């Protein structure tokens, strides 16, 4: 396990619990689940599902909801917090900074940077990174090993391109965006015109714009627009292996889980949640605050605050009823077949 420093005093300073029960002193060995934690570990409870496992947990330090009433065992301490999951995030953020401290500004000797690039003095550029003609890189940004920034692309302040991330030509990133390994921002949109039996490429001459605080997961691709722009709104978070097609617009504060696919020219509103493997057809409008369940396929517009599931997408609770009835279909078919084979006689 990676080495890091974590003790009770640091945890208290980071999390500011509302109250403390019990006492314990020592170094924290690690963070573990309630079921696997041992003495010296830190654990936490964020929801009701595992509440009954807390009394048997062997962790020395537990972060628990404010309404947790039981008392800790001997040599065990409970830290009551309004949001235990967020408290753990703060602790893990500190650990992350210990394990992977911010890189010092500077350009590695193997990096390739065009003379016309506007590079702030506070930027880190790692080994074999490439920054092409006319690109602009904002203050305190990090361009890690083998990352690529295309001609005339722009990165705002505090952006991080992880290893092998790619920002294609003319694309624009706001401030504090994180692009993980293997992601491609501005790949060519999937557009073809069939003429005399041949699929002729339709040039994609638009760009991609990411607003501030957008995170993009590993091996996700966001296609450049055919013209104009593909835009991802402020604070939207995109998981690994997501495909966003050309001319899509996604609002602020959205979550897109792994393997989501959004077809071209679709408009997605603010604070929309798309579950893993869900898909949205092209040229649709998805309203604000919609929730689209995992593996759901959307083929028509959704008004704001829709909660849908299934294929095709339908209201969530209706989809649940369909799932229950579907399990009964084999028995129903057997009964119908029996009736057709041995019909009852008329009285």
Domain boundary among 99, 125, 145: 99
Report residue 106 CA to chain centroid gap. Answer: 30
| Number of separate domains in the chain | 2
| C-alpha distance from residue 214 to each of 158, 175, 191, 281, 299 (Å) | 12, 8, 26, 23, 27
pLDDT at residue number 327: 87
Q: Does residue 347 sit within a domain?
A: no
Please write the tens of the pLDDT for every residue from 19-44. Answer: 999 999 888 989 999 999 999 999 99
User: Is 138 in the same domain as 245?
Assistant: yes
Please write the tens of the pLDDT for every residue from 326-340. Answer: 888 888 888 888 888
The tokens describing 126, both together, are 């790692």
The pLDDT of residue 2 is above 80: no
* Phi and psi based region of residue 215 (left: phi greater than 0; alpha: psi -120 to 50; beta: remaining): beta
User: Is 267 in the same domain as 127?
Assistant: yes
User: Is 94 in the same domain as 227?
Assistant: no
pLDDT confidence bin for 48, thresholds 50/70/90: confident
User: Is 81 in the same domain as 138?
Assistant: no
pLDDT at residue number 258: 98
Domain boundary among 99, 125, 154: 99
Q: Does residue 127 sit within a domain?
A: yes
Q: Does residue 230 sit within a domain?
A: yes
pLDDT at residue number 345: 55
Length in residues, the chain: 347
Please write the tens of the pLDDT for every residue from 212-233. Answer: 999 999 999 999 999 999 999 9
User: Is 151 in the same domain as 276?
Assistant: yes
Is 180 a catalytic site residue? no
User: Is 73 in the same domain as 14?
Assistant: yes
CATH of residue 34's domain is 3.40.1390.10
pLDDT at residue number 346: 55
pLDDT confidence bin for 134, thresholds 50/70/90: very high
Mean pLDDT within 289-298: 98
Rounded mean pLDDT of the chain?
A: 94
| Residue 156 contacts residue 171 (beta carbons within 8 Å) | no
Q: Does residue 333 sit within a domain?
A: no
Range of the domain at 26: 8-99
Could you tell me which residues are beta bridge partners of residue 310? Answer: none
| Residue 189 contacts residue 171 (beta carbons within 8 Å) | no
**Residue of 144, 213, 246, 283 with catalytic role:** 246
CATH of residue 247's domain is 2.160.10.10
Rounded distance between C-alpha atoms, residue 315 and residue 328, angstroms: 21
CA angle 337, 343, 344 (to 5 degrees): 140
Helix residue ranges per DSSP H, the chain: 8-15, 84-99, 316-327, 329-341
């607003």: which residue's tokens?
Answer: 211
The pLDDT of residue 314 is above 80: yes
Rounded distance between C-alpha atoms, residue 258 and residue 252, angstroms: 18
User: Is 274 in the same domain as 312?
Assistant: yes
The residues near 10 (Cβ < 8 Å, ≥ 6 apart) are: 94
Question: DSSP 3-state assignment of 96?
Answer: helix
């040229």: which residue's tokens?
Answer: 283
User: Is 129 in the same domain as 271?
Assistant: yes
User: Is 141 in the same domain as 278?
Assistant: yes
User: Is 75 in the same domain as 186?
Assistant: no
Q: Does residue 327 sit within a domain?
A: no
User: Is 48 in the same domain as 138?
Assistant: no
Q: Does residue 1 sit within a domain?
A: no
The pLDDT of residue 343 is above 90: no
CB atoms within 10 A of CB 245: 22
Mean pLDDT within 10-14: 94
List, as own/partner pairs, every contact residues 166-173 make where C-beta atoms lie below 8 angstroms and the sequence separation is at least 24, other chains included. 168/208, 168/224, 169/132, 170/207, 171/207, 171/208, 171/209, 171/210, 171/224, 172/207, 172/208, 172/209, 172/210, 173/210, 173/214
The tokens describing 13, both together, are 């300073």
Domain boundary among 99, 130, 149: 99
């Amino acid at each position: 396990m990676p080495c890091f420093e974590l003790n009770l005093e640091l945890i208290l300073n980071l999390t500011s619990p509302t109250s403390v029960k019990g006492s314990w002193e020592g170094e924290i060995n690690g963070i573990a689940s309630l079921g696997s934690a041992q003495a010296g570990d830190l654990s936490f409870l964020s929801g009701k599902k595992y509440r009954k496992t807390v009394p048997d947990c062997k962790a020395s330090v537990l972060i628990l909801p404010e309404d947790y009433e039981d008392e800790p065992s001997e040599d065990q301490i409970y830290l009551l917090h309004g949001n235990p999951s967020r408290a753990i995030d703060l602790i893990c953020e500190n650990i992350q900074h210990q394990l992977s401290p911010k890189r010092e500004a500077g350009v590695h000797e193997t990096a390739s940077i065009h003379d016309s690039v506007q590079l702030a003095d506070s930027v880190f550029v790692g080994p074999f990174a490439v920054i092409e003609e006319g690109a602009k890189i904002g203050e305190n940004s990090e361009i890690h090993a083998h990352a690529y920034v295309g001609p005339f692309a722009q990165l705002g302040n505090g952006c991080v391109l992880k290893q092998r991330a790619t920002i294609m030509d003319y694309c624009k990133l706001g401030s504090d965006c994180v692009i993980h390994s293997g992601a491609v921002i501005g790949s060519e949109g999937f557009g073809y015109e069939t003429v005399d039996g041949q699929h002729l490429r339709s040039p994609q001459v638009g760009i991609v714009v990411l607003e501030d605080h957008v995170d993009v997961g590993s091996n996700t691709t966001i296609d450049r627009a055919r013209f104009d722009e593909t835009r991802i709104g402020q604070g939207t978070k995109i998981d690994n292996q997501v495909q966003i097609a050309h001319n899509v617009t996604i609002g602020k504060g959205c979550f897109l889980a792994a393997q989501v696919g959004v077809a071209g020219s679709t408009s997605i509103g603010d604070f929309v949640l798309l579950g893993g493997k869900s898909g949205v057809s092209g040229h649709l409008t998805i309203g604000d605050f919609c929730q689209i369940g995992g593996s759901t396929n959307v083929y028509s517009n959704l008004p704001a605050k829709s909660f849908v599931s299934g294929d095709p997408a339908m209201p969530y609770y209706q989809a649940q009823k369909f799932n229950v009835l579907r399990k009964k279909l084999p028995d129903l078919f057997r009964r119908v077949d029996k009736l057709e084979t041995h019909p009852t006689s008329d009285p």
